[in-house]
Structure 1
Amino acid sequence: MTFTKNGLVYFLAFCSGFCIMGIELLGGRILAPFFGSSVHIWGSIITVFMLSLSLGYLLGGKLSTHNASLAKYGFIFLIACICVTPIALFSQPIMAYIFTHIEDSRYGSLLASMALFFIPTVILGMISPYSVRLLVTESDKSGQIAGILYFVSTLGSALGTIITSFYFVLAFDVNSIITTFAITLGLLGLIAIMIGSNVRREAPIHA
């Protein structure tokens, strides 16, 4: 059962990395009709994602110190699903409002990026430190496990970038891809919660 739990955590970390970079890459396509696709548009998107992820790392690390469990881990994915969905539903009216009220595309794109991506990316950023907490049971192996986890997560990010840019955008519209990412996160969360209910009899994770 421990092997199943650990394997699931690595798999979910991989998928979260895939989704994060897929959404970030699509951010440029989402903002382009209103703000263009110049370098400062990408500067706005990257800045928002980096700030959001950094805050998510802090919050995820803090949350993981309070009776970390696979079920709670799954709820992070469910919340991410809920927060990602509005990107597909409300991006157009949000950007239209910002575009008509802020003339400078630099600050308009920065505000639009904040409105669309800040909260979902904060939630997604919580996944990595929480994953480490679930995997580490012996302090002398924490560095090795963290290294493997970030390797898996970053590999997922790389694949998310290449597959989204090379294939997804050619076959589907942006909102469909975003919705698929949201549904995937929700399903992964449900899987984690269900499996987590079967491992509650294991020894608890100690601080």
Structure 2
Amino acid sequence: MLSAVGLTYEIAAGRVLAPFFGTSLLTWTTVIATVLGGFSLGSALGGIVAEQPRAIALRNVRNALVATAVLMAVSPTLLGVLYVWGARGTGGMMISVLLVFFPASVCVTLPSPLLAKLAIEARPGREGSSLGFVLASGSIGAIFGAILAGFVTLPLIGSTATFAACGAVALLCLPFVRSGAPGNPGATIAAAGFVAFAGLAGSPACQYESGLSCLHVVERGPEVRLVSDGTVQAAERVTPVEVDEGTVELVLSYTEWLWARMDRDLEPDASVLFVGGGGYTLPTKLLASKPEAQAVAVEIDPLVTKVVRAHMPSAAEMIAQTSYHVSEDKAADGRLGIVHADGRVFLNQTDQRFDAAVMDAFSSGSVPAHLVTRETFARLREIVDGPVYVNLLDTPDGPLARGVHAILRELYQNVEAVQGRVNARGRTNILFAASPRPLESLDSLSNGYGPALISDARAFTDDRGWIGHR
């Protein structure tokens, strides 16, 4: 049971980090290393505890379980406090993970050596098989915890309640440690009350949450913004409108440049693939501006589509009027096909052809690594006859921009790159248009955008790819 709690806690830790520090290879590496380090220290300390007189050892195990419950339940609150106090960047992320998640990881593992010792003593002469059963049960518990977190608790009750549930399960282990020196019932009752309060009254880390996304809808005057893991994914004017060319207004400057490029390059009846649905603003603009055009939007998380339909009027209206769910065995008359799948999986499996494609998929503040490899864009080149447009977030001439630029130059004869204003974190939107045919110059660039100077670099591949921003 404690192994299940430990793995559920570890996965929830990675999830709750996303609104503050994003999610990437770096954040997950830090979480896994920290939690495993806590497990290791907890096992070592638990071995010392197991050698103490039985009564004292059992009392210490009970104290560890109470501490586990409190530390797990308070984890999301403590993470938010550290962020408010100024924890930022890689260093802030690593310190936050260590301070928030290491202590609970130590406490949850501390009882294990004593429990193993008791199991071995219960079967004299069969120590080997007893130890094997203990280790196997721990592994099975860990597997169960991982499945429980990823498929049940995080999607259904969210990360804050998942932490409280982990604490509650730790407290439920106390009746199984009954003998030995008496514990402190008052502390146990107080811990139970705190865990219940944290689960019921604690502020959710996300306004909308699934196993894939932590979403917030932010209204700023006439605008509504869709924020995913702390990064603005889309924005729209909040006015009750009909979706036609004159009323669909793009808010984010990077979408204005992409649309200007698409409007210049594409025919009125173009078929366009969008990898990354986000707020569906560009598909909405395309279909409103070119009544004969077709679009397929691949969005990995159905929750994103659900939130867009509830809060972004123009996109919601376009989805309601023209959308259909793409399936391999059923033709549809709608103009906006929606696919809830990973973009790379769709590319590998589809037999559809397109006139253009827009790569605008994000996980937190970064592009998923498997969508910015030579193999991904080579597959796009096979099924897309015309231009490919790419949106990245990176520092000027940063490693992500250089790697993608190298890929596009290998596959396309004509590549154009622009970048916007640099934000306080030193990052900006870097946009590419790549085409097998010459690209006509735009009459003007979007506000704040200018040509991007990008150095030569090695192209990303599936084997050696992008690491990711936090």
Pick the TM interval, shorter chain.
0.7 to 0.9
Q: How many percent identity over aligned positions?
A: 18
Partner Cα separation in structure 2 for residue 38 and residue 60 of structure 1: 33
Partner Cα separation in structure 1 for residue 170 and residue 176 of structure 2: 11
Q: What's the CA shift for 1:98?
A: 4.4
Structure with greater contact order relative to length (CA < 8 Å, sep ≥ 6): 1
Which region of structure 1 is more displaced relative to structure 2, 153-162 or 73-82?
Answer: 73-82
Of 93, 96, 115, the match for 2:99 = 115
Q: Does the Cα contact within 8 Å between 2:16 and 2:76 map onto a contact in 1?
A: no
Of 59, 62, 66, the match for 1:78 = 66
Secondary structure class of the residue paired with 1:66: coil
Aligned Cα RMSD in Å? 1.9
Letter in 2 for 1:81: A
- Give CA-to-partner distance per residue, 1:111-165, whole Å, 9 cap, x none: 1110111111011121221211222226743332121111111111101101110
Normalising to structure 1: TM-score of the pair? 0.78
Are residue 196 (structure 1) and residue 179 (structure 2) matched? Answer: yes
Which region of structure 1 is more displaced relative to structure 2, 76-85 or 175-184?
Answer: 76-85
The match for 1:61 is 47
Q: Does the Cα contact within 8 Å between 1:71 and 1:192 map onto a contact in 2?
A: no
The match for 2:427 is none
Are residue 157 (structure 1) and residue 142 (structure 2) matched? Answer: yes
Partner Cα separation in structure 2 for residue 192 and residue 91 of structure 1: 31
Letter in 1 for 2:179: G
Q: What's the CA shift for 1:71?
A: 4.0
Total equivalences in the alignment: 177
Q: Which has the larger radius of gyration?
A: 2
Partner Cα separation in structure 2 for residue 141 and residue 45 of structure 1: 37
- Give CA-to-partner distance per residue, 1:60-101, whole Å, 9 cap, x none: 0001000135843333322211222221432211233243xx
Are residue 40 (structure 1) and residue 23 (structure 2) matched? Answer: no
Letter in 2 for 1:196: S
Partner Cα separation in structure 2 for residue 168 and residue 41 of structure 1: 21
Of 9, 22, 27, the match for 2:13 = 27
Q: What's the CA shift for 1:173?
A: 1.8
Secondary structure class of the residue paired with 1:196: coil
Q: Does the Cα contact within 8 Å between 1:34 and 1:96 map onto a contact in 2?
A: no
Which region of structure 1 is more displaced relative to structure 2, 126-135 or 37-46?
Answer: 126-135
Gapped runs of 5+ residues in structure 1? 1-14, 198-207
Larger % of strand: which?
A: 2
Are residue 181 (structure 1) and residue 169 (structure 2) matched? Answer: no
Post-superposition, which runs of at least 4 consecutive aligned residues in structure 1 deviate over 2 A? Answer: 68-76, 88-91, 95-99, 138-143
Gapped runs of 5+ residues in structure 2? 181-470
